[in-house]
Amino acid sequence: MKITKHNPGELGRNQQQSFRKYGKYLVLLLLLVSMFLYRERLGEIFAGVKDVTKAVVCKCIILSAAAYALEGMTIAFMMGTAGGRPRAGKGISIGLLCEFYRMITLGNGSGFAEIHYIHKNGIEAGKAAAMTMIQYAFKRIAVMILGSIGFLILYLGQGTRQLCREYMPYMGTGILISLMIAACFFCLALSPKIAGCAVSVLKWLSRKFSIIEKKASSWIEQIILLNRSGKSILGKKREMMRVIMCQVGKQLLFCSIPAVMLQGKSQLAVNECIWLMAAACLLAGVIPAPSGAGSLEFVFILFFSRFSEPGVPAAAILIFRFVTWVLPFMAGGLLIIREKYFTYRWNDND
């Protein structure tokens, strides 16, 4: 991951004028391209929304908005580790902007977008990269915590025990992978020796296998950035505790959305729906898929179809995607337009 220092204030006058003229069209083009890439899935999502009452959709939107507010607080607390006062509004804006880039880049651009916007707020680019990587590790921990608790509670229940027995090996694998990812990030951040060994191994592999040279170079740079700033970030214990609490709260809110949609339409109680969704998120998180699209739907329908009428889980996951995927993407797009076009226009009128 190549990160270069960039100060938006250093743009030349001609570049600013060019962006004022063409920036809105570029954003519109990105929106159209992303809508084309997801045209089939978006059509299904909007069709599913029509079959649900407005009250249920509103409740789901409120839960999703609260979850993204906690995501914004997470970003604000991470930025607070570099000094200064964390601003929730700024963190929420960055979180929504990242959701916009997550969708138009099929999941690969949200991390780079977060680094860019954190750096744009005065934090050194290397430290911004380390913050983003550590935040990702805490996200995986939150998913693992709720998923593990949910799976254990469901295993102790009578109606869900058989399902848990069937998928116990897969859940165990998911927990193990999540632990390994988190441990890897923290070890690389805290131990110069481990980071040095990892860099040496990657350099050796890149010499042996030229096909991975570019990728290995990117990983080496990420490891160096993480190790340089990771210890100082993780040393802020109060902020880190707030981060993990925000991430757990966000995940709990997300898992509550299907419970609202399936209330009265499933054999499961509300709390059982929440815990089953938490287990589904844990299992889906270890299935590689762009932007998480496809893996969660597969596991969700696989789990919830055991306790619902045919077609009900499919409609529920479509609404879930609408409030946690489409709406944040649209909100991020509006922020992009405001930032890239109207801000420059207003400054020009000053």
Q: Which two tokens stand for residue 203?
A: 């350099």
Segment 307-311 mean pLDDT: 81
Segment 79-92 mean pLDDT: 81
Whether pLDDT at 2 is above 60: no
| Whole-angstrom Cα Rg for the chain | 21
Using alpha carbons, select from 73, 118, 173, 98 the residue that is nearest to residue 331: 98
Helix (H) or strand (E) holding 344: helix 343-349
Q: How far apart are CA 27 and CA 103, in angstroms?
A: 13
Least trusted range by pLDDT, from 22-36, 71-85, 213-227, 332-346: 22-36
Whether pLDDT at 319 is above 90: no
In the prediction, which pLDDT does 224 show?
A: 92
Question: pLDDT tens across 183-201, in order?
Answer: 999 999 999 999 999 999 9
Which is higher by pLDDT, 57 or 291? 57
As to burial, measured by CB atoms within 10 angstroms (0-12 exposed, 13-18 middle, 19+ buried), residue 117 is buried
Band of residue 244 on the pLDDT scale cut at 50, 70, 90 = very high
In the prediction, which pLDDT does 295 show?
A: 80
Segment 82-101 mean pLDDT: 84
199, 150 contact by CB (below 8 A) = no
Using alpha carbons, select from 289, 332, 315 the residue that is nearest to residue 45: 315
In one-letter notation, the amino acid at residue 267 is: Q
Q: Is 294 left (phi over 0), alpha (psi -120 to 50) or beta?
A: left
Tell me the whole-structure pTM to 2 decimals.
0.80
